[in-house]
Amino acid sequence: MPRGRSATSVHSDSSEMDFDGIAETEIGKLQRQFRIMEGDRQAYSIQSQEILRKQRSEIPLHAQHCTSHTQSWELTLQEELEQERRSQTEKGEVSASSTQQSLVRHTRKATCTLENKLDRALVRFNQQLTRNRHLREELETLRVERLRFQQLYHKLDKVRLQEVRREAGDVISTSTAAYDARLEAQSKMMMMKEKAVKDLAQYSSEVKELERVITHERHLREFMTTKSKERSNRGNTQELIRRQELKAQQRADSGEESMETLEDVFQRIQKVTEEEDLEKLVNRFLQVEDKNFALFNYVNEQNTQAETLRDEISQIKEEMERFRVEGVRQVEEHHMALKQVEEQQREAESHALEYEAQANIIGKVLDQIKTGVNSIFIKINCDHAMVDDWLDSSSRIRDSSIMSYLSLVEQRTSQLLTLQAFLNSKDLEKDYDPKMVAQCLLGQNPELQKETAVIREDNDSEESLFTDEDDRPLTQEELRQRIMNIVRNTYWKKQKCFI
């Protein structure tokens, strides 16, 4: 058990260190990305501000340049006009018509030249104003884009900061939980170690106490053996004294015992016990007997307790071994359960992938079927209005309405086969089979298997044609009338669709 706990703690420490390293790596990566984005934002902001500053500095220069050009042209024109006026006033009236005409032509030419120059200046001025207006619009657009970029950047920065904070919070909470679990596991491990140390110390103290008790009992047993030997020797002496006393008593009773005999016996007892007082000798004998009996009872109790302690020690050892085996078995069962759960998870993931692939394949096949049904539906010119009326839906085919579309395709196919059979019956060059023609006209082609579909009943003229008369054979006139009704209904439905 201690070995299993140490392996588990080492594994938990290594996994904790790996998790902390991964979390620190992710946080460092996010911080680097944030710093790179912050540097890009600052660079773009500085670049846009520099462009705006240059354009703002160019606007007054262009405006001043245009104003100076305009003023210079106006001043030049005014000076030329003033010179012309002065020249005319100085010359006065000229009598010669040729000179006057040349002066008029010169004046007109100068006027045209000045007007052309003024027009060109105005054109350049208007072009400069237009350019300034475009520059203002571009500046306004850049300003709006800058504001939008700043808003988007702040929003993105806020979102990413929130994500980083959330991820950091998750990592911190996970790390805190793992650290708490680690502390709890370490505290439990320390408690178990302390308990194991205490149990070992208690076990050692109990073993020492039991060894001491056993040693004491062995010494006591040896002492009691020695005492029993001494007692047996004393018992022989006392038996001899008792026999002599009995003999003396018998003699006293019989009148044969004498005082000398009693004195002789007492002297022998004194010689053996080295005690002169008879009363003390009797009391001493009784005390020794009581002490020996008490020691005998004590030895029996100690032997019983020693046997009980030996049984308890063996039971404790058996329980320790059983707990160790149980712990090993629980660890093995835990590992087996983890392996089974991982295997089940892998199987579930593989099944999920297989089911997803099957669902994708089935979806593709169903889309192909819907595309094919729609193509057939369009090619055989089925009635979309009937679909809208029956299915209460648009012309798009759904998964729930594909059988209804197939039923309509089957009905339309039956109609086309009926028309084809009628046309074949009118062709005299082909073999005429009345039974086959009748089956085709009635829509009872054995090669086609109808698929039942739930469609709302409609009181159209086509359904009124298929009545209980299907059970009896029809005449040629009835068949012709029936085909004409089908063609007429189809024609009117097409006309309604066109209208």
Domain boundary among 378, 410, 431: 378
456 & 367 share domain: no
In DSSP notation, 196-246 reads: HHHHHHHHHHHHHHHHHHHHHHHHHHHHHHHHHHHHHHHHHHHHHHHHHHH
Confidence category of residue 460, pLDDT binned at 50, 70, 90: very low
Q: What is the pLDDT of residue 288?
A: 76
Closest residue by Cα to residue 195 from 323, 306, 331, 313: 323
Summarize the confidence of residues 441-465 as an average pLDDT.
42
- The mean pLDDT of 407-430, rounded to a whole number, is 74
Give the single-character DSSP code of 443. Answer: T
Q: Are residues 366 and 475 in the same domain?
A: no
Q: Compute the mean pLDDT over every residue in the chain, rounded to the nearest whole number.
A: 71
> Among residues 378, 412, 443, which one ends one of the domains?
378
On whether residue 191 sits in a domain, the answer given is no
Higher pLDDT, 328 or 84: 328
Residues 432 and 298 in one domain: no
Share of the chain above pLDDT 90, in %: 0
- Given this model, what pLDDT does residue 218 score? 73
Q: Among 378, 397, 427, identify where a domain stops.
A: 378
Checking if the pLDDT of 438 tops 60, the result is: no
Q: What is the pLDDT, as a whole number, of residue 341? A: 81
- Using one digit for the tens of pLDDT, what is the confidence trace for 382-417? 766 666 666 655 556 777 777 777 777 787 787 787
pTM of the entire structure?
0.29
Together in a domain, 108 and 23: yes
The least confident of 50-54, 212-216, 217-221, 495-499 is: 495-499
**In the predicted structure, residue 451 carries a pLDDT above the cut 60:** no
Range of the domain at 398: 380-498
- The separation between CA 219 and the C-alpha centre of its own chain, rounded to angstroms, equals 74
Q: For residues 415 and 358, state if they share a domain.
A: no
Coil, helix or strand for 60?
helix
Residue 208 lies in a domain: no
Query: Do 367 and 390 lie in a common domain?
Result: no
Q: Using an 8 Å Cβ cutoff, are 169 and 82 in contact?
A: no
pLDDT value of residue 461: 40
Residues 132 and 165 in one domain: yes
Instruction: Kindly state whether residues 364 and 480 are assigned to the same domain.
Output: no
Same domain, 368 and 384: no
Question: Is 60 exceeded by the pLDDT of residue 453?
Answer: no
Asked if residue 230 has pLDDT above 70, the reply is no
Cα distance between residue 197 and residue 101, in whole Å: 137
- Both 363 and 454 in a single domain? no
